[in-house]
Amino acid sequence: MVALLAASAARGDDVSLAPYSAVDVAPVSTWAYLATVTLAVGRFVRHGDAFTSTYTARVFPYFFYNEQGSLKIKVPDTALRQLAAGRSFDFAGSAVRSDGKERPVDGRVTPIDASRGRIRVRLFYSRRVVLVFTTTYRLPAMGPAPAPQNGQSQ
């Protein structure tokens, strides 16, 4: 009986995480005081318990605040299993500018269906400025590309 329960519990962890090896995120814009910040992120690829990607942030009309760098968010297997079960999860990570300046990020992933969902990211630009981006994601192994948000084109 104990062996049967152990085997049953082990099968619950056997959800294939292969479809979660890459994630596409739609470009998104938000407001920061008198500026529009547009964030474009490359494909997130999973390495260990984290997803990594590059990003470009464009600030209009203050082009001198434009930046690019890399993003890394920690997403353990347990969080991906929650996603596979249709449940939301929170994450944390960091954004590192090309000059090495690091900023914390956190957020929440909410599935719409098995292949796509919504993602909310907070980027802590400074002690006083927190940029919040809400957009969509898709799992390329499972469905079509995400639609651009806020009138942005891909």
**Domains of the chain, residue spans:** 24-138
pLDDT of residue 87: 96
Selected from 2.60.40, 2.40.128, 3.30.1050, 3.30.160, the CATH number assigned to the domain covering 24-138 reads: 2.40.128
pLDDT digits (tens, 9 = 90+) for 114-151: 899 999 999 999 989 999 999 999 999 875 555 555 54
Residue type, 141: A
SS3 at position 2: helix
54's CB contacts (< 8 A; 6+ apart) are: 41, 42, 68, 69, 70, 71
pLDDT of residue 9: 36
Residues of the chain where predicted confidence (pLDDT) is lower than 70 = 1-15, 143-154
* Range 68-96 burial, b when 16+ CB lie within 10 A, else e: ebebbbebeeebbbbbeeeeebebebbbe
pLDDT of residue 147: 55
> Is the pTM for the entire model greater than 0.85?
no
